[in-house]
C-alpha cells in the first residue's frame, strides 16, 4: 500500500495557497513538487526576458517565478521528470514551459560563482533516471527553490508545473556514490540571464574554465535554443574534443529532444583534471538573414560529476560579491 504525507513550511487553509506543495510517496521513493502559476506582477513583467524562441513555443517575453521550500527527506536524488496541467487539470505539452530549475541554496556551483542548480529542464528535456549506485546527496531540511520560467499566454494563471523526483533513502546498502551536477554556461552572467544575441548563419560562442577539483564525468547533457546544433567540451591544451551533445531534430530542423550521453554511470566515467584548462562551445546555424535575434541563443553543458575529494567542494559564501549578486537576482523573482 502506498504511504503519502504532505509537508509544508507554513500553515494555510488551502494547499493551493502554499508556494510549493511537497508530497512524499515513501513506497515509491518519490518526492512530488507542485507549483501553481501565480498572477504576473508588474515587477515580474519588468524583469521578463524578451526572447523569440519559436521552436520552444514562445514568441515574446517570458517571466520567472521563484518559490522557496524545504526538502523533506534525507538520501540521494536520482531522477526527475516534468509534468504540466492547465487550470482545469488537463495535461499540457512540455513545450508550454520555457524552463524550470530546482535551486539548492546550501551548495554552490563548481565552475560559476553562484548557488547550485540542482535540476534543470527545458522544452526539449526528457526524464532523467540514474542507476541506484549513484545519486546527488541531499538532506532533509535543505533550503531549495522552485523556479519556473514561462510565457503567460502559454501557461496562464493557475496552471500547474509538477516535478516528480526519485530519491534513494539514507539507509540504502550499499551506499550510493555521491555525484553532483556541474553546469557550465557559455553566456553566464552573475545575477542575469545567460541568453545572448544570435547572429545569422553559422556561429559559435565559447567559454574557457578550470575545475577546482579533479573527478570523473559520468553523464553529460546540454541545453540549446532554436538553431542550436551542438554543445561540446574540449581540452584546451591538446585540442581534443572530450564529448559533444547534439540535439535531435525534426524534418524541419527544429529541436525535439536533447540526449544525455552516458560515460559509465555504473563505472569510472571520463576523467576531468583539477586546474586543467577546458573550453565549452555552443554551436548554432541560424537561417535567419535579417540580423541579430536578440537573446536568441543559450549554450549550457550539464555534467554529472563524481569528484575525487567531495569534501573539498567549494562552500556557499553569501558575502562573496558574485554569490550575493546571484541571490539578489533570484530574489527579484520570488513569490510568497
pLDDT in tens, 92-116: 999 999 899 999 999 999 999 999 9
**What is the grid cell recorded at 289?**
538573414
Q: Are residues 273 and 236 in the same domain?
A: yes
Question: Is there a contact between 258 and 124 (Cβ–Cβ < 8 Å)?
Answer: yes
Does the pLDDT of residue 199 top 70, yes or no? Answer: yes
Which of helix, strand or coil describes residue 78?
Answer: strand
Q: Are residues 168 and 206 in the same domain?
A: no
Q: Are residues 25 and 77 in the same domain?
A: yes
State the Cα–Cα distance between residues 244 and 257, nearest whole angstrom.
15
Question: Is there a contact between 226 and 213 (Cβ–Cβ < 8 Å)?
Answer: no
Of 121, 156, 177, which residue is a domain's last?
A: 177
Tell me whether residue 332 is in a domain: no
Does the pLDDT of residue 58 top 80, yes or no? Answer: no
Query: Cα torsion at 115, 284, 289, 252 (round to 10°)?
Result: -110
Tell me whether residue 336 is in a domain: no
Lowest average pLDDT, out of 55-59, 63-67, 73-77, goes to: 55-59
pLDDT in the model for residue 23? 97
pLDDT in the model for residue 104? 98
Question: Is there a contact between 329 and 312 (Cβ–Cβ < 8 Å)?
Answer: no
Q: Are residues 184 and 116 in the same domain?
A: no
Of 132, 161, 177, which residue is a domain's last?
A: 177
Q: Are residues 143 and 209 in the same domain?
A: no
- Give the contacts of 109 (CB within 8 A, at least 6 positions apart): 115, 116, 117, 182, 183
Of 142, 177, 212, which residue is a domain's last?
A: 177
pLDDT in the model for residue 143? 98
3-state SS, one letter per residue, for 227-289: CEEEEEEEECCCCCEEEEECCEECCCCCEEECCCEECCCCCCCEEECECCEEEEEEEEEECCC
Q: Are residues 117 and 163 in the same domain?
A: yes
The secondary structure of the chain in percent helix, strand, coil, rounded to multiples of 5, reads: 10, 50, 40
State the Cα–Cα distance between residues 104 and 142, nearest whole angstrom.
7
Tell me whether residue 314 is in a domain: yes
Q: Are residues 136 and 196 in the same domain?
A: no
Tell me whether residue 267 is in a domain: yes
Give 130-168 pLDDT, tens digit per residue.
989 999 999 999 999 999 999 999 999 999 999 999 999
Q: Which domain holds residue 130?
A: 4-177
Q: Are residues 84 and 208 in the same domain?
A: no
Tell me whether residue 191 is in a domain: yes
* Average pLDDT of span 57-65: 67
Q: Are residues 155 and 191 in the same domain?
A: no
Tell me whether residue 95 is in a domain: yes
Average pLDDT of the chain? 88
Q: Are residues 196 and 56 in the same domain?
A: no
Q: Are strands 75-85 and 128-129 parallel, antiparallel or unpaired?
A: antiparallel
Question: Is there a contact between 145 and 138 (Cβ–Cβ < 8 Å)?
Answer: no
Of the candidates 214, 279, 205, 291, the residue with the CA atom closest to the CA atom of residue 240: 279
pLDDT in the model for residue 48? 64
State the Cα–Cα distance between residues 195 and 203, nearest whole angstrom.
15
Residue 47 pLDDT class (50, 70, 90 cuts): low
Q: Are residues 268 and 303 in the same domain?
A: yes
**What is the grid cell recorded at 125?**
528535456
Does the pLDDT of residue 52 top 90, yes or no? Answer: no
Tell me whether residue 333 is in a domain: no
Give 266-314 pLDDT, tens digit per residue.
557 899 999 999 999 999 999 877 788 988 999 999 999 999 999 999 9
Instruction: Compute CA 284 distance to the chain's CA centroid, rounded to the nearest angstrom.
Output: 21
**DSSP H or E segment with residue 187:** none
Question: Is there a contact between 7 and 137 (Cβ–Cβ < 8 Å)?
Answer: no
pLDDT in the model for residue 18? 72
Does the pLDDT of residue 254 top 90, yes or no? Answer: no
pLDDT in the model for residue 273? 97
Q: How far is CA 91 from CA 99, 150, 161, in A?
A: 17, 16, 10
Question: Is there a contact between 113 and 326 (Cβ–Cβ < 8 Å)?
Answer: yes
Which CATH number characterizes residue 134's domain?
A: 2.60.120
Residue 84 pLDDT class (50, 70, 90 cuts): very high
Which CATH number characterizes residue 236's domain?
A: 2.60.120.230
Domain count for the chain: 2
On the 0-12 / 13-18 / 19+ scale of CB atoms within 10 A, 46 is exposed
Tell me whether residue 335 is in a domain: no
Q: Are residues 286 and 257 in the same domain?
A: yes
pLDDT in the model for residue 46? 56
* Average pLDDT of span 184-204: 93
Amino acid at each position: 500500500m502506498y504511504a503519502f504525507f504532505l509537508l509544508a513550511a507554513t500553515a494555510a487553509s488551502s494547499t493551493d495557497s502554499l508556494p510549493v506543495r511537497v508530497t512524499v510517496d515513501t513506497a515509491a521513493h518519490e518526492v512530488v513538487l507542485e507549483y501553481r502559476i501565480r498572477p504576473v506582477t508588474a515587477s515580474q513583467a519588468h524583469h521578463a526576458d524578451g526572447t523569440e524562441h519559436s521552436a520552444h513555443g514562445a514568441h515574446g517575453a517570458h517571466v520567472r517565478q521563484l518559490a522557496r521550500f524545504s526538502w523533506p527527506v534525507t538520501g540521494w536524488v536520482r531522477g526527475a521528470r516534468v509534468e504540466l496541467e492547465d487550470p482545469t487539470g488537463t495535461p499540457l505539452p512540455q513545450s508550454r514551459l520555457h524552463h524550470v530549475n530546482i535551486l539548492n541554496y546550501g551548495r554552490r556551483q563548481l565552475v560559476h560563482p553562484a548557488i547550485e542548480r540542482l535540476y534543470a529542464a527545458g522544452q526539449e528535456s526528457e526524464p532523467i533516471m540514474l542507476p541506484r549506485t549513484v545519486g546527488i546527496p541531499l538532506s532533509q531540511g535543505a533550503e531549495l527553490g522552485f523556479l519556473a520560467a514561462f510565457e503567460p499566454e502559454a501557461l496562464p494563471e493557475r496552471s500547474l508545473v509538477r516535478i516528480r523526483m526519485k530519491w534513494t533513502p539514507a539507509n540504502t546498502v550499499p551506499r550510493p556514490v555521491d555525484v553532483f551536477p556541474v553546469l557550465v554556461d557559455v553566456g553566464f552572467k552573475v545575477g542575469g540571464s545567460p541568453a545572448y544575441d544570435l547572429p545569422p548563419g553559422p556561429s559559435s560562442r565559447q567559454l574557457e574554465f578550470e575545475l577546482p577539483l579533479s573527478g570523473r564525468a559520468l553523464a553529460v547533457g546540454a541545453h540549446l535554443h532554436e538553431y542550436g546544433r551542438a554543445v561540446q567540451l574540449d581540452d584546451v591544451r591538446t585540442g581534443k574534443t572530450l564529448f559533444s551533445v547534439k540535439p535531435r531534430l525534426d524534418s524541419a530542423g527544429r529541436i525535439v529532444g536533447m540526449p544525455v550521453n552516458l560515460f559509465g554511470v555504473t563505472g569510472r566515467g571520463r576523467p576531468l583534471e583539477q586546474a586543467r584548462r577546458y573550453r565549452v562551445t555552443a554551436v548554432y546555424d541560424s537561417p535567419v538573414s535579417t540580423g541579430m535575434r536578440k537573446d536568441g541563443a543559450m549554450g549550457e553543458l550539464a555534467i554529472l560529476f563524481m569528484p575525487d575529494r567531495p569534501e573539498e567542494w567549494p562552500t556557499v559564501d553569501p558575502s562573496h560579491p558574485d554569490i550575493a549578486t546571484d541571490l539578489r537576482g533570484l530574489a527579484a523573482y520570488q513569490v510568497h
